[in-house]
Every structure is written in structure tokens, then in C-alpha cells.
């Protein structure tokens, strides 16, 4: 059984499938962010409570990823990813019909659990099926799908909400998700190099504990937690500021502010080259200083 090589039709189909999957995952995850103001008004809740619509999904996703990666070792890579995307698409459509905020939170929590089936398995599939020389390109397209989905989901839902309300906005994302799931299912080749294994929960727990014993890894985990957390928090609440006086911007205009996140797709590549030249610690401290200055100025 040969590996998938760059330049072949099957490589293009596989890359396109994962681009669609990455877009789908992060569009569903972040589509609630520009809708928080609408949740606040309709359900008569505070901005802090409204932000749970994103927080519960993210927490459920993070925890569930630890489980789905192990389940794919037993059930297979493609089935876990396809069923994960399909379930998330259906739940997204159900979320659009939520009569109360508590029901919405329930569906968003379930969304986080089902969404975890894709990112936790995607890299394993690519590592098993793509030849080593072509792996970087395939992973790059998948990650770019993640980034574009995170931006696109926010912009699309924010724009739709102004014309169709938050129900229509989430339903629109759900329809896009169904289409992305179909594209992924028909485009992704079945695993050729996957070998089923027994589910060993003990080994999984030991591996996690071993990682937590390494202080350098713990520092990296902490940085990721704090940086992404502050980024999400800033964008959670900036809509409330920009739609109020003195700015009084429309929801559509405010949703387009998320395009700023695209800069990260290019700056990350540039930062990687700077790290190779000047070292990790120096570039990290410079980037943290720029981030802090940006937050203070904002």
C-alpha cells in the first residue's frame, strides 16, 4: 500500500477534504461569538453569561479531544471524523431552534463534544496516509482551513444575524456545515495504513500525567491557555463596545473586525523564521510585549 503523494489527484482530494473539515470545525465553534449581543438582548442575560455560549463549547471540545483520539484507535480514523462532523452539523441546526438560553447552552456543549472527533484524529490520519515529504503541505492546508473557518464563521454569522436574526445565522452555519461534511465524506479516501488497537485507558492517563510532570511543557500549556483565553475574551466583548455609543456600528460592520485574525496566518510564518534566526525566548518576549501593548491601546 503506497502513501499519498503531493501532486496526485488523491492528494488534492485529501487536502481539499481536510480544508473543508477545518473550515467546518472552527466555523461552528466560533459562530456564536458575534451573536453574544443578540443573546444578551433576547434572553435578558449579562454579557458574562452570554459568553458561556462559546466557553462551554470550547471546554467540552478540549476535554473530549483526549477521548476521541483514543477511540479512533479502535473504530478507525475516517468513520470517527465523518460521524463527528455529521453530528455537529445536526446539533448546529438544532441550536438555531433553541427556545431558551439553557437549551442553547446544552446544544453548544454537545457541539463541543462531537466536534472533538475531527481535530483529535486529523493529524493521526494525515501522518499515517501522507508520505513524509508531502505531509507539511497537507497539514498546512488543514490548518489554513481552521483559520479561515474561525474568521469565516464569525463574519458569516454576524452578517446573517443582522438580516435573519441569530436563529437564521446559526442555521446558515449549520447548512454550510452539512455541505462541508458531504464534501469531506466523498473526498477523503479510506485509511490504508490504519491498524486497529485495543482501547487502553491506563496508558492514556499515564501519558497525560507524564506530560504534566515536565515544567517546560506546563509553561507552554499555560501560555497557550492565557494567550488564547485573552484573545477570545477581547473579541467576546468588543462587539458590545462597538455597537454602543459613540461608535454605534451595525452588527455586520462589527463582524468584519474578525478579519484582523487573518493577519495571524501570515505573522505566524514570519515569526517562525525569526525564531530560527534569533531564538525562541527572545521572539516570544517581543511578541508578548506587542500583544500587551495592543490590548492596552485597544
Per residue in 58-99, pLDDT (tens digit) is: 999 988 887 776 666 666 688 889 999 999 999 999 999 999
The more confidently predicted of residues 190 and 1 is: 190
**pLDDT value at residue 98:** 97
- Give me the pLDDT at residue 207, please: 67
* Residue 112: CB atoms within 10 Å: 24
Secondary structure (3-state) at 282: helix
d(CA 27, CA 11): 24
pTM reported for the whole predicted model: 0.85
Q: 9-297 — its CATH code?
A: 1.20.1250.20
Name the residue ranges covered by the structural domains of the chain.
9-297
- State the chain's mean pLDDT as an integer: 88
Chain position carrying cell 492596552: 296
Report CA torsion sign: 28, 32, 34, 35: positive
Regarding predicted confidence, which is higher, 177 or 210?
A: 177
Amino acid at each position: 500500500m503506497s502513501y499519498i503523494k503531493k501532486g496526485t489527484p488523491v492528494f488534492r482530494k485529501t487536502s481539499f477534504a481536510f480544508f473543508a473539515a477545518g473550515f467546518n470545525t472552527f466555523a461552528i465553534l466560533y459562530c456564536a461569538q458575534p451573536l453574544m449581543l443578540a443573546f444578551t438582548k433576547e434572553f435578558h442575560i449579562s454579557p458574562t453569561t452570554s459568553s458561556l455560549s462559546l466557553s462551554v463549547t470550547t471546554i467540552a471540545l478540549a476535554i473530549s479531544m483526549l477521548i476521541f483520539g483514543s477511540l479512533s484507535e479502535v473504530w478507525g480514523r475516517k468513520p470517527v471524523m465523518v460521524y463527528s462532523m455529521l453530528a455537529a452539523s445536526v446539533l448546529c441546526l438544532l441550536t438555531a431552534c433553541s427556545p431558551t438560553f439553557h437549551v442553547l447552552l446544552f446544544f453548544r456543549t454537545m457541539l463541543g463534544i462531537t466536534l472533538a472527533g475531527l481535530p483529535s484524529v486529523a493529524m493521526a490520519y494525515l501522518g499515517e496516509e501522507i508520505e513524509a515529504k508531502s505531509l507539511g503541505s497537507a497539514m498546512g492546508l488543514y490548518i489554513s482551513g481552521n483559520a479561515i473557518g474561525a474568521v469565516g464563521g464569525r463574519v458569516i454569522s454576524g452578517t446573517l444575524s443582522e438580516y435573519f436574526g441569530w436563529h437564521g445565522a446559526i442555521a446558515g452555519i449549520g447548512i454550510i456545515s452539512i455541505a462541508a461534511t458531504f464534501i469531506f465524506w466523498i473526498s477523503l479516501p479510506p485509511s490504508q495504513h490504519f491498524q486497529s488497537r485495543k482501547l487502553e485507558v491506563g496508558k492514556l492517563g499515564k501519558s497525560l500525567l507524564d506530560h504534566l510532570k515536565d515544567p517546560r511543557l506546563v509553561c507552554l500549556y499555560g501560555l497557550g491557555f492565557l494567550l488564547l483565553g485573552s484573545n477570545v475574551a477581547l473579541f467576546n466583548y468588543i462587539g458590545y463596545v462597538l455597537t454602543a455609543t459613540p461608535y454605534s456600528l451595525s452588527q455586520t460592520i462589527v463582524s468584519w473586525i474578525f478579519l484582523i485574525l487573518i493577519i495571524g496566518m501570515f505573522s505566524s510564518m514570519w515569526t517562525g523564521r525569526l525564531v530560527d534566526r534569533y531564538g525562541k525566548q527572545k521572539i516570544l518576549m517581543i511578541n508578548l510585549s506587542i500583544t500587551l501593548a495592543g490590548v492596552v491601546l485597544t
